Every structure is written in structure tokens, then in C-alpha cells.
Structure 1
Amino acid sequence: MDKESYVYMLAGGRYGTLYVGVTSDLIRRVWQHREEFADGFTKKYGVKQLVWYEVHIDIVEAIRREKQIKHWNREWKLRLVHERNPQWRDLYLELV
């Protein structure tokens, strides 16, 4: 049985800096970003708010989707978030 995987997008506030990632444990991974456990992009730019995610059964498909979205322009990414989360709520707070 395949484990669920997630493609997710974090933002540094409404319409702020965006980060796209992939993980098999969404709650743990977003928590790591929020707590700044790893040096890198999200820590440097204060990107901690989970604004969008989608679930995949196949990790290979999730990785493919992450790469696809990472190559999108900013406007497309903003539209993706706005379609599912027009108030830009922090979805992490709804998961924990």
C-alpha cells in the first residue's frame, strides 16, 4: 500500500514570498518550517504559513507535480492558492 504524499505551498503572509515542497508527512514538515529547524529558504525569508496543499497516493507523482509547480510563474501559483484558499488562511492550524 502506498503512503500518501503531499505537495504544499507556504507563504510569508498574504501574497507574500512563496515556497513549494513535497513530503510524506505534511504536519511534521510544516512544523519543521515553522520552527526553523533547517537553514534555508523558508528560514531566511520567514515563510511559515501553509496556504495550499494537495494529496497524492504516489510519491513519484507528487514529486512530478512539485517540479511542475516550481517552474510556474508567480501569478499561476497565486491563482492556485486563491482558488482553494481565497482568504489565505493558515491551513496548518486546521490540520493540528
Structure 2
Amino acid sequence: MMRAVLLADLEQGARALLARPDCDWPDLAATMIAQAHIADKYRKRTGRAHPDWGNGTLHDRAIRLPRAPIRYPTPEGFHEALSVLLQTYIASRHQNR
């Protein structure tokens, strides 16, 4: 599995989802998580970050994508995007056991 998921990972991942139509969120969330996992394996094998997908964190994967700007209070749809991302992450953990 990829590196530990922290709050910053979830925030950046949700911002990446918000930059896309909500119908794309489940696929994009799954893709980001899978690519972060592959990047972590690459980092462990080579000692370097993956050239396209980062260092194996969801944060590093997400910041390489277009993202919605940070606004406070949280933008419309942020909590829904966060929910999609977190549910996808939890499902991926159960599949990889």
C-alpha cells in the first residue's frame, strides 16, 4: 500500500477532485490512489520519486494535477469530494489485503 494518508493528503486529493466534474470523482480518486501506490513502490525500489506521480503519497500525486483553489470557508462540494476520496481509499485498502 502507498504511504500513510494524512489530513494534507485528503485536502489536496479533494481539491483535485473539485477541479473536475463530480461524475469523474470516483475514477479520479481510484486513479490517484493507485498511482500513489505505484509511486511508493518505485520510490522504495529506486530511492527516487516517480517522475510523474511523486514520492508515494496521495498529497504528492494530487499536487501534480489541476486543483481547485483553497478557500475558507470550505468551497461547495468539498465535503462530498472528501467523502468520495476517503471511501475510495478505504475500499482500496480492503481490496489489497
TM-score bin (small chain): 0.3 to 0.5
The structure with the largest helix share of the pair is 2
Q: Give the structure-1-normalised TM-score.
A: 0.32
Compute the TM-score of the two structures, normalised by the length of structure 2: 0.32
Query: Normalized per residue, which structure has more strand?
Result: 1
Higher RCO (Cα < 8 Å, 6 or more apart): 2
